[in-house]
């Protein structure tokens, strides 16, 4: 397998784009990534796009062909779907494509247009990422599923309602400087606790929003990437799966798919979890960030709430988390989220993040599909693997 690097990134602003179609956003993000890579569209040899539900949301299927056509790229184009992990699945498969030697230059796009349908229809579409027969059909939404996880975590480990709120507070604090974030305002623990109940114990400000947006990046093989201005190297990638229904899991408070994906990615990258300088995790609901910190190995199971409360995830903490706002403040156009996470790690490593860390060497993103049925972990570094 060859070394592969990210050489260009592009993103739309995340939010409610009433005046843009999914095609418009794909073009905007894709061309921005091509310009950032300082290449021509004709240099791209393959296209990979992640999108959960363009048919339900925008009435548009066959998204690979649409993206290639819209960008003027007559290349093999494939869409990937893995619920909210769709973007990272597209990225992982593009990485394998280039690392294997099949192609030397690929573009990865993540996109979702969620606001062309009414709120209840959007929620119904998201629920399709769970078990339709045993969860969605009885009205169990993803807020409900994650509320069950939160309540079990609180019962078993003493995690507090305030600790959950601190996750959202930290993400909003980081999102203020991010010009592409959907919500650029700070919030307080009290704001979270006083926001309306969505599924007890989760409040409105524990939940990521309905969002439109697209993100894209260009990757190249080592021989081409060495000529790029500021390549960021892909060091490892892992994927894990678990039961699609929450009630079939061994535990409500952990995600086996996350542990599997992280183990594979870290092994390939030849680093350990404590070598990382920052991470992007899937905070679709505040409890998921706490569970992610535990499953990735930054703290013991059950101690994620205390880990957050002690300031470890702050920009200047032990392991900065979601340095540009995460899903909570940045927005969550589900198919685009994994690609956006990768972009934010890349920007940190090349030194042009809106909340730049001091001299980071390694970063990781964790993208989760559904309530944990799919997990993808990617690891990036400033230097290539030897």
Active-site annotation, residues: 84, 332
Could you tell me if 4 and 222 are in contact, meaning their C-beta atoms sit under 8 angstroms apart?
A: yes
Sheet holding 374-381, edge to edge: 77-80, 46-50, 105-113, 212-221, 4-11, 232-241, 374-381, 362-369, 278-280
Q: Which residues contact 287 (CB under 8 A, 6 or more apart)?
A: 146, 149, 150, 153, 164, 202, 206
Partners of residue 232 on adjacent β-strands: 6
Alpha carbon 337 to chain centroid distance?
4
For residue 185, is the peptide bond before it cis, meaning its omega torsion is within 30 degrees of 0?
no
User: What is the Cα–Cα distance from 225 to 220, expressed in whole angstroms?
Assistant: 5
**In degrees rounded to 5, what are phi and psi of residue 75?**
-130, 160
**Strands 46-50 and 77-80: what pairing?**
parallel
Concatenating the DSSP letter of every residue in 206-242 gives: GBPPP-EEEEEEEEEEHHHHTTSSS-EEEEEEEEEE-
User: Rounded to an integer, what distance in angstroms lies between the CA atom of residue 305 and that of residue 302?
Assistant: 7
Burial 25-54 (b: 16+ CB within 10 A, else e): bbbbbbbbbbebbebeeebbbbbbbbbbbb
């Amino acid at each position: 397998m060859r070394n592969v690097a990210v050489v260009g990134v592009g993103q739309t602003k995340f939010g409610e784009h009433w005046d843009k179609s999914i095609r418009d956003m794909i073009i905007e993000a894709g061309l921005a990534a091509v310009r950032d890579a300082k290449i021509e569209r004709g240099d791209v040899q393959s296209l990979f796009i992640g999108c959960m539900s363009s048919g339900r949301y925008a009435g548009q299927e066959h998204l690979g062909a649409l993206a290639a056509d819209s960008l003027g790229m007559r290349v093999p184009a494939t869409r990937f779907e893995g619920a909210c992990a769709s973007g990272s699945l597209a990225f992982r498969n593009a990485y394998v494509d280039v690392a294997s030697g099949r192609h030397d230059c690929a573009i990865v796009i993540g996109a979702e247009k969620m606001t062309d349908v009414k709120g209840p229809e959007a929620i119904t579409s998201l629920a399709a990422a769970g078990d339709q027969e045993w969860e969605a059909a009885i009205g169990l939404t993803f807020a409900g599923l994650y509320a069950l996880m939160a309540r079990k975590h609180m019962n078993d480990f003493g995690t507090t309602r305030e600790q959950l709120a601190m996750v959202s507070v930290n993400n909003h604090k980081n999102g203020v400087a991010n010009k592409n974030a959907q919500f650029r305002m700070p919030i307080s623990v009290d704001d979270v606790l006083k926001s309306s109940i969505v599924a007890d114990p989760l409040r409105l400000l524990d939940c990521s929003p309905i969002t439109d947006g697209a993100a894209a990046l260009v990757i190249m093989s080592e021989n081409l990437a060495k000529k790029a201005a500021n390549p960021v190297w892909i060091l490892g990638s892992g994927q894990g799966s678990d039961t699609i229904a929450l009630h079939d899991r061994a535990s409500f408070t952990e995600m086996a798919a996350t542990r599997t994906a992280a183990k594979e990615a870290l092994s390939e990258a030849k680093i350990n979890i404590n070598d990382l300088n920052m991470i992007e995790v899937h905070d679709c609901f505040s409890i998921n960030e706490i569970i992610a910190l535990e499953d990735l190995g930054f703290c013991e199971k059950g101690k994620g709430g205390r880990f957050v409360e002690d300031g470890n995830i702050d920009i200047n903490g032990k392991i900065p988390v979601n340095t540009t706002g995460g899903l909570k403040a940045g927005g969550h156009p589900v198919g685009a989220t994994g690609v956006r996470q990768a972009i934010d790690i890349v920007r940190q490593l090349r030194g042009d993040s809106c909340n730049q860390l001091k001299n980071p060497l390694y970063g990781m993103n964790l993208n989760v599909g559904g309530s944990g049925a799919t997990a993808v972990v990617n690891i990036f570094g400033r230097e290539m693997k030897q």
